[in-house]
């Protein structure tokens, strides 16, 4: 196999939530969450099993699905939802000792609508 520098795996999940921001009336979205994880190729030929990636994303978003986001986050903009999820996912990776294996979040997208989204990327 040729020398591979980085391998990135992605998983998407939809979350339905309601919020009120910037004086707008209460309204809801079917948020599409896109998570990108980067890491080394394991001996099993995987960076991270897609089922485990799904489970991590489900657990990270469990407090947001079918909820009123203003009860969870102050001024729950897509940007703040993304920061909240980044921190939750990072904690879950740490709990599963995946950070120690060289895996990291490199990108997280929060799609509020089909033409409006926020992208958060790692600094390095």
**pLDDT at res. 124:** 74
Mean pLDDT of 34-43: 94
Q: What domains sit in the chain, N to C, each tagged with a CATH number? A: 7-121 (3.30.479.10)
**pLDDT score, position 4:** 65
Euclidean distance between CA atoms 67 and 103, whole angstroms = 30
pLDDT digits 0-9 by tens, 82-113: 999 999 999 999 999 999 999 999 999 999 99
DSSP lists the bridge partners of residue 35 as: 11, 108
For residue 6, what pLDDT is reported? 81
């Amino acid at each position: 196999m040729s020398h591979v520098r980085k391998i990135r795996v992605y998983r998407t999940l939809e979350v339905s939530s309601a919020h009120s921001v910037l004086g707008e009336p209460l309204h809801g979205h079917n948020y599409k969450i896109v998570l990108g994880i980067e890491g080394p190729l394991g001996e099993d030929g995987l960076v991270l099993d897609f089922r485990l990636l799904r489970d991590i994303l489900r657990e990270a978003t469990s407090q947001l699905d079918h909820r009123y986001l203003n009860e969870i986050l102050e001024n729950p903009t897509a940007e703040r939802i993304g920061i909240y999820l980044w921190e939750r996912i990072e904690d879950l990776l740490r709990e599963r000792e995946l950070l120690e294996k060289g895996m990291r979040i490199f990108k997280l997208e929060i799609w509020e609508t089909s033409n409006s989204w926020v992208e958060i990327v790692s600094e390095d």
